[in-house]
C-alpha cells in the first residue's frame, strides 16, 4: 500500500514536513476490505512509530524505503533493542536529487546523513590505527560531529571544541521554520554517534591557535562552518536590517510588521513562512526570474504550497539597491526601472560564506590542518557530513 505518482510526487516521496504515518488512512481503508495482510509504506522512520501503526491495526507489516539508505542496519538495531543507535532518515530528498544528477554521470545514490551510502564497497571499515593520538576538531556542526565519530572508531582521541553551548551549528537554525523539526534528529544522531565512539565535546569553548597548540594534536580538523552574507547595499547598517540567522536564532523578534525577505532560496522561503506564520506581512524579493533557484522542485513545491496560505508578495527579477528607514528601493533586472516599497524590516537571506578565519590563522601551524564542511565550501548537510567523514577516514 503506497500512494501517488510522478504528477503529485510529494504524496509519493514525501518531503521533510510530512509526519510519520501520514498515509495511515489509506492503508486502513484498504485493510477494511481485504482479507490478506496489508504491507504499507507510511513514512516510518523509527521502530516506535512502526510499532504504533501495527498496534493501531492500520497495517500488518511495516515497509521501509529511504530509512534503509540512512541506516542499512535499521532492522537489526531495532531487533536488538538498539533503537537509539539508528541513524534516522530526515526525508530531506537529497537521495532523490543526487540520484537524478549522479545517474547521468554513472554515479550512485547518496544519503545526506549516511556518508557510506552508495560507496559501501569502497568504505567497508575504517582502519583501527589511531593509537590514542589526539585530533582536535573545531566546530560541532554536522561536519565536525561526523569527523569525530570516525576518528573515535579509528582509535584516535577526538577532542571537539565548540563555542556554542550545544551541537548542530547552522542546523540549530535550519530546524526552526515550520515542518523542519526532523533536522534535530540529524543533530541528535550525529552527536550520539560521536559520543558513542568516545569523542570528547567541550562546549562553550572558543578554539584559538594557542588553545589548540596546548592540546598537542597530530592533526587539526577545522569545521567552523559558515556565516551569513551581508551585501554591500546603501543602508544595510540600519537597525531594522537583520539576517535569517537573527530571526531563526531568536536574536530578533519580528511580529506584526511589514517585512521584506531578500533572497528566495530555500532558506529565504522557509524564513518567509515563519515570519508570515508569526503574523507579519511578507514581500519576498529575488534577483533570478523564478523563486527557489537551484532548489529541488519537490522541496520548493512543499514550501510554496504552505506559503500560499499566507498570500505573500513575490518580486522576482528584482534586486535590492537601497535601504532607508521605512522603505526599500528595488531595481528590475531587465528594464533597470526602480520602485520603492514601504517596509518596517529587511531580512537578508542572500547566502552563506565560509567562516575560514581560524583556518587562515592556522596556516603556518606545523601539524596538518584539514578544512571541512561549510568552512571549506558552503553547501548542505550532505556535503558537510561526507566531508567530515572523509577527512577522518583518510587521515
Residues that bind ligand SF4 (CB under 6 A): 66, 69-70, 89-95, 111-113
Q: How far is the CB of 382 from ligand SF4 (least distance, A)?
A: 7
| Residue 71 or 162 with smaller CB distance to ligand SF4 | 71
Q: How far is the CB of 340 from ligand FAD (least distance, A)?
A: 28
Q: How far is the CB of 270 from ligand FAD (least distance, A)?
A: 7
Q: Does 163 bind ligand FAD (CB under 6 A)?
A: yes
- Write out the binding residues for ligand FAD, residues 373-392 only, by CB under 6 A: 373-375, 379-381, 384
With CB under 6 A as the contact rule, the residue among 139, 217, 263, 268 that binds ligand FAD is: 139
Q: How far is the CB of 177 from ligand FAD (least distance, A)?
A: 8
Q: Does 141 bind ligand FAD (CB under 6 A)?
A: yes
Q: How far is the CB of 130 from ligand FAD (least distance, A)?
A: 21
Q: Which does 89 bind (CB under 5 to 8 A by kind): ligand SF4, ligand FAD, none?
A: ligand SF4
Q: Does 95 bind ligand FAD (CB under 6 A)?
A: no
Q: Which does 379 bind (CB under 5 to 8 A by kind): ligand FAD, ligand SF4, none?
A: ligand FAD
Q: Which does 226 bind (CB under 5 to 8 A by kind): ligand SF4, ligand FAD, none?
A: ligand FAD
Q: Is the Cβ–Cβ distance between 273 and 307 less than 8 Å? A: yes
Q: How far is the CB of 271 from ligand FAD (least distance, A)?
A: 7
**Rounded Cα gap, residues 276 and 273, in angstroms:** 5
Q: Which does 69 bind (CB under 5 to 8 A by kind): ligand FAD, ligand SF4, none?
A: ligand SF4
Q: How far is the CB of 138 from ligand FAD (least distance, A)?
A: 5
Q: Which does 295 bind (CB under 5 to 8 A by kind): ligand SF4, ligand FAD, none?
A: none
Q: Does 164 bind ligand FAD (CB under 6 A)?
A: yes
By CB under 6 A, name the binding residues for ligand FAD.
92, 112, 138-144, 161-164, 169-171, 173-174, 206-207, 223-226, 244, 248, 267, 355, 358, 373-375, 379-381, 384
Amino acid at each position: 500500500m503506497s500512494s501517488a505518482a510522478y504528477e503529485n510526487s510529494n504524496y509519493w516521496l514525501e518531503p521533510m514536513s510530512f509526519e510519520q504515518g501520514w498515509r495511515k488512512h489509506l492503508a486502513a481503508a484498504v485493510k477494511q476490505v481485504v482479507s490478506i495482510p496489508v504491507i504499507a509504506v507510511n513514512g516510518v522512520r523509527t521502530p516506535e512509530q512502526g510499532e504504533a501503526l501495527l498496534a493501531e491495526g492500520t497495517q500488518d507489516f511495516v515497509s521501509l524505503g529511504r530509512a534503509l539508505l540512512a541506516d542499512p542496519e535499521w532492522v537489526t538495531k531495532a531487533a536488538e533493542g538498539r533503537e537509539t543507535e539508528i541513524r534516522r532518515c530526515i526525508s530531506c530528498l537529497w537521495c532523490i536529487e543526487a540520484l537524478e544528477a549522479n545517474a547521468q554521470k554513472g554515479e550512485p545514490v547518496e544519503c545526506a546523513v549516511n556518508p557510506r551510502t552508495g560507496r559501501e564497497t569502497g568504505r567497508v571499515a575504517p582502519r583501527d590505527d589511531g593509537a590514542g593520538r589526539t585530533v582536535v576538531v573545531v566546530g560541532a556542526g554536522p561536519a565536525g560531529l561526523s569527523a569525530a565519530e570516525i576518528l573515535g572508531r579509528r582509535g584516535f582521541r577526538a577532542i571537539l571544541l565548540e563555542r556554542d553551548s550545544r551541537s548542530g551549528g547552522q542546523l540549530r537554525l535550519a530546524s526552526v521554520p515550520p515542518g523542519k523539526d526532523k533536522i534535530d534528529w540529524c543533530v541528535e544522531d550525529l552527536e550520539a554517534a560521536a559520543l558513542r565512539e568516545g569523542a570528547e565535546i567541550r562546549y562553550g569553548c572558543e578554539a584559538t591557535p594557542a588553545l589548540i597548540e596546548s592540546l598537542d594534536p597530530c592533526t587539526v580538523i577545522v569545521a567552523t562552518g559558515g556565516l551569513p552574507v551581508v551585501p554591500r547595499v546603501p543602508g544595510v547598517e540600519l537597525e531594522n536590517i537583520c539576517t535569517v540567522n537573527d530571526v531563526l536564532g531568536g536574536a530578533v523578534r519580528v511580529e506584526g510588521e511589514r517585512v521584506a525577505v531578500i533572497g528566495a532560496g530555500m532558506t529565504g522561503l522557509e524564513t518567509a513562512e515563519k515570519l508570515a506564520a508569526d503574523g507579519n506581512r511578507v514581500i519576498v524579493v529575488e534577483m533570478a526570474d523564478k523563486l527557489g533557484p537551484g532548489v529541488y522542485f519537490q522541496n520548493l513545491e512543499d514550501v510554496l504550497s504552505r506559503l500560499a496560505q499566507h498570500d505573500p508578495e513575490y518580486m522576482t527579477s528584482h534586486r535590492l539597491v537601497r535601504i532607508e528607514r521605512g522603505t526599500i528601493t528595488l531595481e528590475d533586472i531587465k528594464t533597470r526601472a526602480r520602485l520603492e516599497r514601504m517596509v518596517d524590516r529587511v531580512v537578508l537571506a542572500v547566502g552563506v560564506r565560509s567562516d575560514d578565519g581560524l583556518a587562515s590563522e592556522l596556516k603556518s601551524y606545523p601539524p596538518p590542518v584539514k578544512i571541512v564542511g561549510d568552512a571549506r565550501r558552503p553547501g548542505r548537510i550532505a556535503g558537510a557530513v561526507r566531508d567530515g567523514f572523509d577527512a577522518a577516514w583518510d587521515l
